[in-house]
Amino acid sequence: MGDYSIALESLQYALALRRELADRAAEGLTLNNIGSAYSGLAEYQKALDAYLAALEIHRSYDSRWNMAVTLNNIGWVYAALGDRRHALSSYQESLELSRAIQDPRRTAVALNNIANIDAELADYRKAIELHTEALALRRQTDDPDGEATSLTNLGEAYAKLGETEKAHDHFEAALAILRVSANRPKLVRTLRGLGALRRNAGDFDSGRKCLDEALRISRDIRDRMAKHPSWQN
């Protein structure tokens, strides 16, 4: 939390300077970063206010890439606030812009976020459709961490539908990527999903091994963050 507060102080100073210089484009970027800092502090209303101000500036310049990024951030904050309707509309606009500028990475992010809302609403078939589209884009753009995220999302959706074999295959594929990339928070999530799946299928020993490994990694992450707060960013 301390690092976000420190960053916020610097960003507020930068914002004042951008405004003094009447540098509207830079002001919009700084507001977006302020929104991210407030999100990190879980001050979601302040984050939303900053993102909306940034979006207004991006629209005035028709900066579609920045609009797509900021709309995704706005959607994330609405989702954190429990407002799925506004989250979905923000993600959908981000998706339209991302497709219009032919940015596959941003398109994949928007698809992923829309699919997550579908999954929250228990529309797992629709979630699978969108996650599968996002997965193809992430493979196309050589985004291994993003690919692993899509695979884990698909594993979770197939598990909810009781399609154990497909769920298992997707979790295993994600796990193979994450053991190489060493993205430990994502590794924890995938191990938990795979462990629960195996346990529920009656493979208690294998399931427990996955869950125990996830717990060890999670504790290590927490301990390291406590010793080195700057690692949280």
pLDDT tens per residue across span 46-95 = 999 999 999 999 999 999 999 999 999 999 999 999 999 999 999 999 99
Q: What are phi and psi of 161, to 5 degrees?
A: -85, -5
pLDDT at residue 1, as a whole number: 52
The pTM is what?
A: 0.90
Instruction: Give the dihedral sign, CA 151/156/162/164.
Output: positive
**Residue 228 clears pLDDT 60, i.e. is over it:** no
- Domains of the chain are 1-83 (1.25.40.10), 135-233 (1.25.40.10)
Q: What angle do CA 157, 133, 207 make, to 5 degrees?
A: 30
Q: HSE, CB side, 13 Å, CA atoms: give it for residue 168.
A: 12
